[in-house]
Structure 1
Amino acid sequence: MSTPDWLHSLLDALDDHERLAASVALRPGVGARAAAVLMLIGEGPRGPEILFVERAASLRTHAGQIAFPGGAADPGDADLAVTALREAQEETGVDPTGIRILGSLPPAHVEVSGFDVTAVVGWWQNRSPVGPADPREVASVVVVPVADLLDPAKRVRVTHPSGYVGPAFQVGGHLIWGLTAHLLDGLLGLAGWQADWDDTPFVTVPARYLTDRSDTSGGQDAH
C-alpha cells in the first residue's frame, strides 16, 4: 500500500537531520537508558489521525494521562523501532505487521525518569482492531484526527506548579501535555501541518494529572 500524498512532506523531513534535531531541541538526549514510543499515523474519514493511549487511573505515575504507547528497551530488542512496536502491541493489541516504520525523531531526555525517549514514526498502512490490551496499564485507546489537533479552539499552553509552560491539546475531554505534547508538536511541524501558537490561551494543568510525586517537581520533564 502506497503512502498518501499528505504524508510525503513528513517523509522528507525525517531525512533532514537539522529539522529533526530542532524538534527535540528543548530536551535533547544525554545518552541515558533508552526507551521508545510509537507515533502511529493512520488515514481516517477526516484525513490523518494519530493513536494515543489513556494511562490507567490506578498507575503510580502519570495516572490518567494521554501518551504515545511505549516503554523501556529490552535487551532482546534489535532496535528502538522493535521496542516501540512491541510496546504498542502489548498496550493496544495493534498488529505490528500492518505498520510501516518511516523513521524517528532524535532521543529526548526525560530527567524525572532518567530515560532518553526516541519517538518512532509509523504509517498504519493496514489497520487492525485496537483497545486496552492490559487494563492495569491502559484505560482506553484514543485515535485523534490531526484536524482536531490543529483546531485553534483545542490548542492551549499549560502552566505547571513548577513554573513550566508548554504546548497542549484539548481533545475528547482529555489534555495532551508534557513530553507527549512536545513530541506531537514536533511531529506536526515536521509534517508541515503545524499552526501558529500565537495568542494561544493558557490553562493550568488539571489536578487529576498531578497525582504522583514526579509531577509535583518535574517541570518540563514531568511527562
Structure 2
Amino acid sequence: MSWVSEQSPLAPDAAPPWLTPLLDNTDLVKRAYRRRVPPEVLAAMGVNAAPGAGRDAAVLVLFSGPPQAPGGGVPDDVDLLVTVRAATLRHHAGQAAFPGGAADPGDLTPVHTALREANEETGIDVGRLHPLATLERLFIPPSGFHVVPVLAYSPDPGPVAVVDEAETAVVARVPLRAFINPKNRIMVYRKENTRRLAGPAFLLHEMLVWGFTGQVISAMLDVAGWARPWDTDDVRELDEAMALVGSDASYGETQP
C-alpha cells in the first residue's frame, strides 16, 4: 500500500455530542453500505478488490456545525462538504464527491491524504479540522481505488471554494438536513444497466449525489439513526435524474 503507517492523527474526543451516534457505529457503515449495493456490483467488488488490485485513496467526510444542539438531535445548520468533479476528468466526470483522491508517496496515513486533497481541491484550512475516525476501506470497481473515508468535524471550517476548475466544478457545504429529507431521496441507475442495479441518491438544487458518495452518505444516515423513511420505489435513470437538478420540481428542498 502507499501509506507507510496505519497510525492516524485522530481526535475522537473533539466530536460534538450530536455526532456520537455515527462515531460510535463507524464499524457498521461498510455493512450498511453493502446492504444498498446491488448483488451484481458486490460480486464485481469481490472479484476486483484483491490486495494490490488498485490504488489507495482517501476522502474527507467533513461535518461542520455548532458543538451543541438545543433540545438534542442534530442542529439545523450542520453541513457536509461536497464537491462536483469537473466534466473533463477521466474518472467520475461531473459527479458529486467528497474531496479526496489518491495517496501520494509522502502521505503517512489516510488522514494525511484526505486533508491534503481537501486543501488542494477546496482551499480549506485543515488546521481548523478535527479528524475523528477512519471508516473501513471500500473498493470502487470503475476506478480501481481502495478508498478510506475519513470522518472529521469542525465548528467553523472557514471559507471554501473551487481551487482548480480543471478538476472541480463546484464546492459546497450542503446542509445535512437536505440529505435527511425524504423528499430529496431517489434511487438511480445508469442507462447501460437495469433498474435492478439502482443505488441510493440525493437530488438537490445544485447537484445529484449518487454512486459511491451517495452510498456512503446513505449508510451513515442509517447507522447514525438519522435516516427517515423514504420512497425506494422512486427509481430514475441517471440522465433523467440529472435533468432535474436545479429544476422547479419538488426535489431539492433543504427543509426537513
> How does the TM-score come out when normalised to structure 1?
0.84
Which of residues 99, 104, 109 is equivalent to 1:79? 109
SS in 1 for 2:78: strand
Percent identity for Structure 1 against Structure 2: 37
Q: CA RMSD in A?
A: 2.2
The aligned counterpart of 2:149 is 119
Take 1:86 and 1:57, find their aligned partners in 2: how far apart are those partners? 22
Which of residues 196, 217, 225 is equivalent to 1:192? 225
Question: Residues 195 and 207 from structure 1, CA distance in 2 versus in 1: closer, same or farther, beyond 3 angstroms?
Answer: closer
Q: Is the 8 A contact 2:186 2:231 kept in 1?
A: no
Largest Rg, 1 or 2:
2
Which of residues 157, 170, 183 is equivalent to 1:140? 170
Which amino acid is 2:60 matched to? L
Which amino acid is 2:133 matched to? G
The aligned counterpart of 2:201 is 168
Take 1:3 and 1:67, find their aligned partners in 2: how far apart are those partners? 23
Q: Does 1:41 align with 2:63?
A: yes
Take 1:57 and 1:30, find their aligned partners in 2: how far apart are those partners? 30
Which of residues 92, 117, 126 is equivalent to 1:96? 126
Take 1:133 and 1:79, find their aligned partners in 2: how far apart are those partners? 24
Quote the offset at 1:173 in angstroms: 3.5
Q: Is the 8 A contact 1:37 1:120 kept in 2?
A: yes
SS in 1 for 2:225: coil
Gaps of 5+ in 1: 210-223
Gaps of 5+ in 2: 1-12, 67-74, 243-256
Take 1:187 and 1:208, find their aligned partners in 2: how far apart are those partners? 22
Which stretch shifts more, 77-86 or 61-70?
61-70
The aligned counterpart of 1:22 is 31
Quote the offset at 1:198 in angstroms: 4.4
Question: Residues 190 and 48 from structure 1, CA distance in 2 versus in 1: closer, same or farther, beyond 3 angstroms?
Answer: farther
Take 1:199 and 1:130, find their aligned partners in 2: how far apart are those partners? 33
Superimposed CA distance per residue, residues 150-186 of structure 1 (whole angstroms, 9 cap, x where no aligned partner) = 1121100012222221000001242111111111111
Which amino acid is 1:112 matched to? P
Question: Residues 181 and 199 from structure 1, CA distance in 2 versus in 1: closer, same or farther, beyond 3 angstroms?
Answer: closer
Quote the offset at 1:194 in angstroms: 1.5
Quote the offset at 1:2 in angstroms: 5.2
> How does the TM-score come out when normalised to structure 2?
0.73
Take 2:219 and 2:156, find their aligned partners in 1: how far apart are those partners? 25
Take 1:90 and 1:48, find their aligned partners in 2: how far apart are those partners? 23
Q: Does 1:156 align with 2:205?
A: no
Quote the offset at 1:62 in angstroms: 2.2
Question: Residues 181 and 30 from structure 1, CA distance in 2 versus in 1: closer, same or farther, beyond 3 angstroms?
Answer: farther
The aligned counterpart of 1:215 is none
The aligned counterpart of 1:179 is 212
Aligned length: 206
Which amino acid is 2:226 matched to? W
Quote the offset at 1:187 in angstroms: 1.7
Q: Does 1:9 align with 2:42?
A: no
